[in-house]
Amino acid sequence: MKFGGTSVADIERIRHVATLVKREVERGNKVAVVVSAMAGETNKLVAWTNDAAKAEGANQVPDQREYDVVVAAGEQITSGLLAITLNAMGIKARSWLGWQVPINTSAVHGSARIEGVPATDMQKAIEGGEVAVVAGFQGVAPGTRISTLGRGGSDTSAVAVAAGINAARCDIYTDVDGVYTTDPRIVPKARRLEKIAYEEMLEMASLGAKVLQTRSVEIAMLHRVQTRVLSTFTPDVGGTLLCDEEDIVEKKPVTGIAYSRDEAKITLHKVPDKPGVSAAIFGPLADAGVNVDMIVQNVSEDGETTDLTFTCTRGELTRALAAIETHAKQIRYRAVTHTSDVAKVSIIGIGMRAHPGVAQLMFRTLAEKGINIEVISTSEIKVSVLIAEEYVELAVRALHSAYELDAA
Ligand code: ADP
Ligand code: ASP
Ligand code: MG
């Protein structure tokens, strides 16, 4: 069982979570629980690390290993509090921090990858009838340094622990009662999906639906973890099951719509239109650790030069510009412009493979609303467009209706 930040936001809610755990124990199940930090807590800790780094003067970016020590603290508190609450209710329980499980991770502090969960002692404790309350989001990197898994990482802790201990089920409890056709907070007509294929959920998550962290879906898919998304507040209704594609009977062309505001766009004007130019641009970006997402190269008007546009996350923008400017001589662009006032909207569905014309409806719908498409990218089961940020909600709602996803 995994409980997100809103579900453990205060002692009263932790008590409610404890009753849900108690219920599973009374049904005869052996339980490991993964908890997030109290809602808002991680944001507060992140802000503190930035303030502290500024106080040092020149050093503007906090040391990522110390950042992890600080931001991992939120989960330490909730794991202890839930264990105390369970014990008070007469349920044997203990907390397990990332290094105690252990949840072994890579050394990429701030967004470490889980490399293994050899939870022998914890498994023994669970077998012995004790509830294991695991601090989500955190792990231990080589050299025994504390690591964290990137924002939203408790989902990944939960699925990885489930895989590590061969759990029969992994129930992700959150503040919505399942995965919806799009974010129910911006489209009230969004519908809950009874089931969603791993592949679709992977795209939804990586294209911005923060209901599950992308990496958690990858692990669920790889290890075939039986994963459900449920509501902490209405645990007995609804829910969404992640499943194989074959288990979905009705394959609509579009299953869901995702959006992301964490986008920045950079355009290089008048770069030479000849072999090797893309390599000259994207090589330095890769070396700088920038994940380039969408790319578009214009048709050359004069046969000599062309414009090239690409996107990355807003957090990577400064690094991307620095890499470009450092390599100005090799790339030989005339000018560079950038903006963060853009957002990405994506339609996702495995049914797209079998239905031609799916993208066309997207383009027409956006055109009818007067929304300009700046960049397009596609894969077998998704189409993404980059638009001005101010139109995101309008675009998502219009597409939701156009693909007949609105609830009746
Ligand atoms: P938790 O703290 O429990 O991990 P999150 O805030 O990380 O919860 O994720 C749940 C939120 O994800 C919901 O409140 C909802 O606004 C958002 N969300 C975005 N897209 C979707 C979607 N397609 N289906 C359900 N929720 C979504
Ligand atoms: N507390 C962490 C965050 O806010 C991890 C999580 O909630 O999944 O990102
Ligand atoms: Mg989350």
Confidence category of residue 252, pLDDT binned at 50, 70, 90: confident
Q: What is the DSSP letter of 248?
A: -
Inside any domain, residue 300? yes
CA distance 365 to 164: 45
- Please name which ligand lies nearest the alpha carbon of 2: 1
Distances (CA, A) of 1 to 80, 198, 321: 16, 19, 43
275 and 397 assigned to the same domain: yes
22 and 141 assigned to the same domain: yes
152 and 267 assigned to the same domain: no
- Please name which ligand lies nearest the alpha carbon of 98: 2
Ion ligand 3 neighbours, Cβ < 5 Å: 4, 152
Strand order through the sheet with 335-348: 295-297, 305-312, 256-272, 335-348, 382-388, 375-379
**Total number of domains constituting the chain:** 2
Inside any domain, residue 201? no
Inside any domain, residue 234? no
363 pLDDT exceeds 80? yes
Residue-wise pLDDT for 190-208, tens only, equals: 999 999 999 999 999 999 9
pTM of the model as a whole: 0.94
Say if ligand 1 is within 6 A of residue 182 CB: yes
Residue-wise pLDDT for 17-37, tens only, equals: 999 999 999 999 999 999 999
Inside any domain, residue 362? yes
161 and 276 assigned to the same domain: no
Say if ligand 1 is within 6 A of residue 5 CB: yes
Give the CATH number of the domain where residue 161 resides. Answer: 3.40.1160.10
145 and 289 assigned to the same domain: no
Q: How far is the CA of 313 from the centre of ligand 1 (A)?
A: 20
Mean pLDDT confidence for 317-329: 95
Mean pLDDT confidence for 135-139: 98
| Owning domain of residue 299 | 257-402
Confidence category of residue 385, pLDDT binned at 50, 70, 90: very high
- Please name which ligand lies nearest the alpha carbon of 34: 2
Q: Could you tell which of 174, 177, 206 is best to mutate to test the pocket of ligand 1, judged by most ligand atoms within 8 Å of the CB?
A: 174
Inside any domain, residue 348? yes
Inside any domain, residue 368? yes
166 and 276 assigned to the same domain: no
Inside any domain, residue 215? no
Domain finish residue from 175, 201, 221? 175
Of the candidates 30, 160, 4, 168, the one whose C-alpha atom is nearest the C-alpha of residue 82 is: 4
Mean pLDDT confidence for 80-100: 98
Domain finish residue from 175, 202, 224? 175
Average pLDDT, the chain: 96
171 and 262 assigned to the same domain: no
Give the CATH number of the domain where residue 266 resides. Answer: 3.30.2130.10
- Ramachandran area for residue 28 (φ above 0: left; ψ -120 to 50: alpha; else beta): left
167 and 24 assigned to the same domain: yes
10 and 123 assigned to the same domain: yes
27 and 167 assigned to the same domain: yes
Inside any domain, residue 243? no
153 and 300 assigned to the same domain: no
Say if ligand 1 is within 6 A of residue 185 CB: yes
Q: How far is the CA of 234 from the centre of ligand 1 (A)?
A: 15
CA distance 176 to 239: 9
Q: How far is the CA of 152 from the centre of ligand 2 (A)?
A: 4
Domain finish residue from 175, 204, 234? 175
